Amino acid sequence: MRAGQAADVMVGMLAAMPLTPETSPTRAEPPPRGRGDACPGALRLHEADDGALARVRLPAGLLTTHQAAALARAAEELGDGRLDLTSRGNVQLRGLGSDCGGALADRLRGAGLLPSDRHERARNVVASPLAGLDGGGYADVQRWARRLDELLCTEPDTASLSGRFLFAVDDGRGDVAALDADVTLIARVGGDAVLRVGGAEGDGAAACRGLLVRAEDAPGAAVLAALEFLAAVRDSGTRAWRVRELPAPYAVSARRLAGRLAEAGITATALASPCPLGTGNAEAARPVPGLVSGPEGRCALSVLAPLGRLTAEQWRLLTATAAREGAGELRVTPWRGVVIPGVSAASGRELVAALADAGLVTDRNSPWYGVGACTGRPGCAKSLADVRADAGQAARAVRTVPGAAAHALPVYWSGCERRCGHPGGRWVDVLATGDGYRVAARGTGAPETERAVWAVTAEQAADAVAAARGTT
Ligand code: SF4
């Protein structure tokens, strides 16, 4: 697109137009909750316009190939034949019959995907997907995440955590530590771990404070931190779902948490200064699509699902690849991708090509790279547009400068102002308005960019999005 072309497509550039505020309550504004958290789960289906929806929690995104195959069968035989990957590394099945809850639960239990019915919505754990695979990071935190999940499922009180409460287990590279989790573990050089309660400080990527614990104590310390949060919720008389929703006088304090840890025999010391995380660039720390080199001639395959959705056929291809060529395991990432560990370097390129042929994103220069969308019409009654169709059309339409997509801001298309599943950090917000879209950069910190808002028709959206992302 020519430099001035953005102006051609701009129906109105509404300088200084206020962006819709984020809706999460702040500490100054405790959440008025008249009902429990309605987050969907595998046992609590959500009735959407395209049928019932089930969200299957996958702690650390981990799946055996046996479990992955069970999900594909459930999607095909009970749902609409597709699998959505979520921003927490979980899988959603859509288009389910309203009476299939029992059959789905039986299948998930049979596959080992429901270790505790009572805890199924509390098992929100993300972990660095490349931990132990590429030589980065300071610990194989996938093991920590598995232990954390076991402890969560055996502690009765954690069943009352909201379905929105999130644990993050970062191997020190700084990828999932930037996801604004409620309880975060971060591996440090030397083998210990930082335990942090609440979101990352500053821009979420560069620094953190917290308590220092031994690596072997880290999973247990994370569960105790969640119990400390639940105690604060009770003391405050609120129904806070997230740590950031606690009123300030009831914030989880390092001193009280250290006391609870000590009672459990866990020694914790307060960090005197921020601890550096990886490169300080959370986006750069995530797995890029393609072949990821590791030690001893082993590689991992990293792919993204276009707009976060896979057909059962694409999912089966990933499963078969993991079974035949990999280590028999898949890792669903919080960036709507899948990592397959353990393939040989010799066969890696051929495997990547086969996955690309099947429509998966295997290259950062793909026009689908960095593009996301909510469910939109027809699946969501709140949506003002078929955002997935429009996002797909825009991705196909724009000719990007070679190499530009790899460095462009992520873009997210939303059918209404809730913006379900939008990315954090810096991103381009494409919001349906009923007669088109409003396109704006968010989180850039540059006032002139934050105020630049394009109001465009669906046909004009592609160019406005490209201009806002910087891909043309
Ligand atoms: S952002 Fe709005 S339209 Fe999109 S899935 Fe959420 S509620 Fe529905």
Q: Is the CB of 86 under 6 A from ligand 1?
A: no
**Within a 10 A sphere around the Cβ of 20, how many other Cβ atoms?**
12
Q: Is the CB of 74 under 6 A from ligand 1?
A: no
- Is residue 14 over pLDDT 80? no
Which residues constitute the domain of residue 151?
130-282
Question: Considering Cα of 274, then 279, then 280, then 282, what sign does the dihedral take?
Answer: negative
The verdict on 137 and 277 lying in the same domain is yes
Q: Quick check: is 64 in a domain?
A: yes
Q: Can you give the pLDDT at residue 7?
A: 36
Question: Which residue is it, tokens 């499963």?
Answer: 319
In angstroms, what CA-CA distances link 118 with 42, 44, 227, 279?
11, 11, 16, 39
pLDDT in tens, 49-85: 999 999 999 999 999 999 999 999 999 999 999 999 9
Query: Looking at residue 15, which CATH number applies to its domain?
Result: 3.30.413
Tokens of 187: 């591996």
The verdict on 96 and 197 lying in the same domain is no
Spell out the residues 6+ positions from residue 269 whose beta carbon is closer than 8 angstroms to its own.
211, 212, 258
Q: Is the CB of 415 under 6 A from ligand 1?
A: yes
- Checking DSSP bridges between strand 91-96 and strand 51-56, what pairing results, if any? antiparallel
Q: Is the CB of 384 under 6 A from ligand 1?
A: no
| Domain termination site, one of 282, 302, 317 | 282
Residue 250 · residue 236 · CB < 8 Å? yes
Q: What is the mean pLDDT of residues 119-134?
A: 96
The verdict on 152 and 109 lying in the same domain is no
Separation of CA 389 and ligand 1 centre (Å):
14
Q: Can you give the pLDDT at residue 182?
A: 95
Residue 401 · residue 154 · CB < 8 Å? no
The verdict on 134 and 274 lying in the same domain is yes
Q: Can you give the pLDDT at residue 451?
A: 59
| Averaged pLDDT of the chain | 87
Q: Quick check: is 144 in a domain?
A: yes
Q: What element of type H or E holds 224?
A: helix 218-236
Q: Name the DSSP class of 243.
A: G
Apex CA 260: angle with CA 259 and CA 264, to 5°?
A: 110
Q: Quick check: is 383 in a domain?
A: yes
| 3-state SS, residue 12 | strand
Q: Where are the beta strands (DSSP E) in 386-466?
A: 411-414, 427-432, 437-442, 453-456
The verdict on 17 and 85 lying in the same domain is no
Q: Can you give the pLDDT at residue 464?
A: 84
The verdict on 380 and 421 lying in the same domain is yes
The verdict on 90 and 162 lying in the same domain is no
Q: Quick check: is 312 in a domain?
A: no
Q: Whose CA is nearest to atom 6 of ligand 1?
A: 420
The verdict on 165 and 83 lying in the same domain is no
- Checking DSSP bridges between strand 183-187 and strand 91-96, what pairing results, if any? unpaired
Q: Quick check: is 451 in a domain?
A: yes
Q: Can you give the pLDDT at residue 4?
A: 39
Instruction: Please tell me the pTM assigned to this model.
Output: 0.88
Q: Can you give the pLDDT at residue 446?
A: 64
| 3-state SS, residue 185 | strand
Q: Quick check: is 229 in a domain?
A: yes
Q: Can you give the pLDDT at residue 31?
A: 53
The verdict on 230 and 167 lying in the same domain is yes
Q: Can you give the pLDDT at residue 3?
A: 34
Q: Quick check: is 193 in a domain?
A: yes
Q: Can you give the pLDDT at residue 445?
A: 66
Would you call the peptide bond into 31 cis, given omega within 30 degrees of 0 as the criterion? no
The verdict on 192 and 262 lying in the same domain is yes
- How many domains is the chain built from? 3
- Is residue 411 over pLDDT 80? yes
Atom of ligand 1 nearest to the CA of 416: 2
Query: Looking at residue 82, which CATH number applies to its domain?
Result: 3.30.70.3340
| Domain termination site, one of 249, 282, 315 | 282
Tokens of 269: 């010391």
Q: Is the CB of 419 under 6 A from ligand 1?
A: yes
Q: Whose CA is nearest to atom 2 of ligand 1?
A: 416
The verdict on 109 and 143 lying in the same domain is no
